[in-house]
Structure 1
């Protein structure tokens, strides 16, 4: 696909500087004219002020509201309105396969705004400025204030969507955290490149990234909401490739961690006839009010209760407060029946291992693990008592509160972590981060069947003809690298023929860190896991389809992926956002044949 136009910000010079001098760490922020926040080493950050637990109830999640076509001015177009910087839309590429898909399935319209607003993380902390996503209510003629997480996007397979995302952020970050350009990535929808939120496609009204054709106040994102392989399996694609729990977040080059840290993320739930969102059809999983996302972020606050983050240090800032759906140590009222909780680690660097227990943390409540990284497993993992997630990983669990009427239970994090590089060890009972207050029983027509979603098969012939690529995630010159190189979003490191399948080897040679590796666009299946030179069993939870692959120390993962339906530029990166922002990312392209 072509690069568009000339009205763009020159490619950041940061990467060249970094090869020669650590003193250049601040160069991109200085070049963009952003206020510089004083750097501080990980050991120099003061602890957050203490908070009284269980004062704040979790607020309800806002829904993204659909709009009518006549609510948009200007109307969405196949090509960007301003190729070469001549209009209000940022200079994206032409929407791929849009006409054919919408002619068959139609399309719905949505609008989000990235804005600054006030948010209170805890009733003992002051309201403070955040950056977050919000929705426009055309019926009331207003834009809702931003929230953490952003508005909940509910979608269905076979129902394509156009989402216009405005950048209404202020021209500068007054607290020195983040940059006011955005590129929104919907992780990990099977979407065309121009709507993927590529890091170099960042935009604002006055600036655009090196891979975008020009600045603009908004960018239209086309989300087909079709299964991968829909060219081979008409009309919707291969239902074995379905995703369910997705999330969106800012992916601006060099600033994913601070921009997400300030609140630019949210949930996107995708249903089909099997995972129906209805307790009377399909799998009949817990649905409606009993299908509840829980997002976890680690944050650190200064003595006045305001966010702090060191975006210049390659070690970043480790938060010491776990924030659940935007609140510190909140409580959630539940009925005495089954719930589906969709757990998301939204980063930036903290890992979690969760249990549900009594106040002492020792009487554990078992649950069924049904999905990993947004993908239903072939069969539920029954009677689990703990679930671990790394940054950007998701896990769907079904918890039955029946028999606990009038009780209080707690979600504990048992994974201790003192560095942004990796977790330390398990501690018992751990730290309670959420209280469940169990009320009266409620009608429950849900179930967790013994079979969930079949895996797409991988043939021996596919494996035999698959190209093998090896990617080593390590550290060089104080920066995070892939195959000893820093990121350059203007140059692909791999060009993959559309329609092919490949085996990728992801390698972490050690050194005292772990890397949750995210590959955009396509799900993969792990073929083999090695610790050192020894092949070890793949954990049951990781035997499904994945889009985040946790590379522990001295580990190699071999995985198989197919590259279908669209062409263009995508990325692979460590989803420890601090590592990503400090160069552990590469571009790869799908090339039409």
Structure 2
């Protein structure tokens, strides 16, 4: 393992030196060439052969496809197994004696052939249980779990990505040994067990989590590996958000549930002229595609009944921001941000969605007659990894909702959801600057180093972290382990959306009309868990090219 890490770091720094010396990597050959109708399309695209937009980023080269051809798939719910063999070594897990596993899961990470659209050839993909996105986990507080991720990817791989993996459950309150630290990757033919205790931070029921997602977090290759398919969704329920719209207990909110609680996983893709999935691993600015997938297929349609739906939005990146709205301008109720219920619903007609954020909304289709078709749209203009560049006059079509039937609706959206804990007073302040320096992505002027601890945090301490984007770039910043609270910034509309518990904060470019303010102050209460964790830009291309820090929580 140490040799693999050092080689990885050397490769990245060698790449950056070459880039600074004149872009020598731009002339690199294709690692794999696709042919029309090929069954193994998977190309690492050299920069010289890509059509480049301003500031980097590929534009407009994918073959045309007909939208709304494919019905949107829903990931199957992952089921438990009675035992794992060999048995997990539970002594490695923090808090295991208090939170022993009641549920066991076995996930097969493997290569398979995936169809993005009937007009395109099958493409090689990597997926949890051989699907993109992976299976949907439904967990419950009070039922801790162990998930075994078996790496059955090819030992050697052509195209982009690296078959050594490590899985991160994004938003989870987990011990560092199960968090998916970027340097804890492991090879094909081996496995790693993760303990998810479903432990309330500080024992506070107001800190319950909801919409999470899991993805690969391998150092230097997170963008490529997630783009290739290593992503999945995870719902976590408790007595308040119980996942049962017919729940008659006093605490239960009775939000839309079951078939009416739907994950929408957004990811943009790029294809070559022959329909091969391509990824530009040489462009450190970021990667944006020109084909838009929801739950793994391009511009699907989804049949809905005349009733309320809970739609859980996920942005899988790697670099794309979205302005989410509906073609008919209808309003909806925002009930959760980054998987955390708000104190009360907020009525919106649009929201800005940066990479890795989650937004839970409730849409009421009962107001529309059968036969109505409503398109989900993106109105944010973006041609490169620099970030949003304005608003589109003609929005991009992401998917279509087809109202096709009546259905009973016992669900509700109460005026009160989950109380927000008060923002604690910080006793420690840290400043973090996110900047491009000579083509490299730095935090406080330094490249990420797996073995360097950039902050030592004492458990039980409340800290204020001041985050700033430098140099006219936009960055979605994610902090592992704990939810944070964003101190008030921007206008009233932004404050209404950012008032809840978050794990991602949008940093804009600082330019006139920027998508978000270029700085933010967040307050974090570090409780319970110890060990090594990360903060990074979740434009995963920026992350892979070193815009990440390690912080250690100590007793």
Normalising by structure 2, report the TM-score: 0.90
Which residue of 1 is the match for residue 81 of structure 2? 67
1:567–1:591 contact (8 Å) kept in structure 2: yes
Map residues 72-151 of structure 1 onto 2, 5 A cutoff: 72-79=84-91, 94-102=92-100, 106-134=101-129, 146-151=130-135
- Structure 1 position 280, deviation (Å): 2.3
Which residue of 2 is the match for residue 516 of structure 1? 476
1:15–1:486 contact (8 Å) kept in structure 2: no
Distance 2:401 2:333 in 1: 18
Determine whether 1:343 maps to 2:340.
no
**Equivalent residue in structure 2 for 1:274, among 237, 240, 260:** 240
Which residue of 2 is the match for residue 218 of structure 1? 191
**Equivalent residue in structure 1 for 2:167, among 175, 184, 196:** 184
- Change over 3 Å in CA distance of 1:440–1:126 after alignment to 2: same
CA offsets 1:460-505 (integer angstroms, 9 cap, x no match): xx33xx1000000011111111001100011110000111110000
Distance 2:287 2:322 in 1: 17
2:178–2:193 contact (8 Å) kept in structure 1: yes
- Change over 3 Å in CA distance of 1:425–1:330 after alignment to 2: same
Unaligned runs of 5+ in 1: 80-93, 135-145, 206-215, 230-236, 358-362
Which residue of 1 is the match for residue 277 of structure 2? 307
Map residues 224-303 of structure 1 onto 2, 5 A cutoff: 224-229=197-202, 237-281=203-247, 282-303=252-273
Map residues 198-209 of structure 1 onto 2, 5 A cutoff: 198-205=181-188
Determine whether 1:527 maps to 2:487.
yes
Distance 1:51 1:180 in 2: 30
Distance 1:62 1:428 in 2: 37
Which residue of 2 is the match for residue 140 of structure 1? none
CA offsets 1:143-177 (integer angstroms, 9 cap, x no match): xxx11110000001111000000111112222x21
- Change over 3 Å in CA distance of 1:18–1:486 after alignment to 2: farther
- Change over 3 Å in CA distance of 1:546–1:289 after alignment to 2: same
Determine whether 1:494 maps to 2:455.
yes
- Structure 1 position 425, deviation (Å): 1.6
Distance 1:478 1:6 in 2: 26
Matched position secondary structure for 2:99 = helix
Map residues 540-559 of structure 1 onto 2, 5 A cutoff: 540-554=496-510, 555-559=518-522
Determine whether 1:375 maps to 2:345.
no
Matched position secondary structure for 1:280 = coil
Which residue of 2 is the match for residue 467 of structure 1? 428
- Structure 1 position 529, deviation (Å): 3.0
Distance 2:342 2:105 in 1: 30
CA offsets 1:69-109 (integer angstroms, 9 cap, x no match): 2xx22111125xxxxxxxxxxxxxx211212322xxx5210
Matched position secondary structure for 2:542 = helix
Which residue of 2 is the match for residue 398 of structure 1? 362
- Change over 3 Å in CA distance of 1:46–1:19 after alignment to 2: closer
2:481–2:533 contact (8 Å) kept in structure 1: yes
- Change over 3 Å in CA distance of 1:516–1:7 after alignment to 2: closer
Which residue of 1 is the match for residue 67 of structure 2? 53
Distance 2:246 2:276 in 1: 46
- Change over 3 Å in CA distance of 1:538–1:403 after alignment to 2: closer
Map residues 147-186 of structure 1 onto 2, 5 A cutoff: 147-174=131-158, 176-186=159-169
1:309–1:316 contact (8 Å) kept in structure 2: no
The alignment of Structure 1 onto Structure 2 pairs a total of residues equal to 521
- Change over 3 Å in CA distance of 1:7–1:67 after alignment to 2: farther
Matched position secondary structure for 1:101 = coil
2:255–2:412 contact (8 Å) kept in structure 1: yes
Which residue of 2 is the match for residue 484 of structure 1? 445
CA offsets 1:319-353 (integer angstroms, 9 cap, x no match): 01110101101100010000000001110000111
2:255–2:411 contact (8 Å) kept in structure 1: yes
Matched position secondary structure for 1:517 = strand
- Structure 1 position 416, deviation (Å): 1.6
Determine whether 1:38 maps to 2:46.
yes
Matched position secondary structure for 2:90 = coil
Normalising by structure 1, report the TM-score: 0.84
Distance 1:434 1:521 in 2: 33
1:391–1:516 contact (8 Å) kept in structure 2: yes
- Structure 1 position 10, deviation (Å): 3.7
- Structure 1 position 536, deviation (Å): 8.6
CA RMSD of aligned residues (A): 2.2
Determine whether 1:417 maps to 2:415.
no
Unaligned runs of 5+ in 2: 33-42, 511-517
1:354–1:412 contact (8 Å) kept in structure 2: yes
2:20–2:439 contact (8 Å) kept in structure 1: no
2:16–2:439 contact (8 Å) kept in structure 1: no
2:70–2:300 contact (8 Å) kept in structure 1: yes
- Structure 1 position 127, deviation (Å): 1.2
- Change over 3 Å in CA distance of 1:38–1:114 after alignment to 2: same
Determine whether 1:197 maps to 2:180.
yes
Which residue of 2 is the match for residue 13 of structure 1? 10
- Change over 3 Å in CA distance of 1:455–1:48 after alignment to 2: same
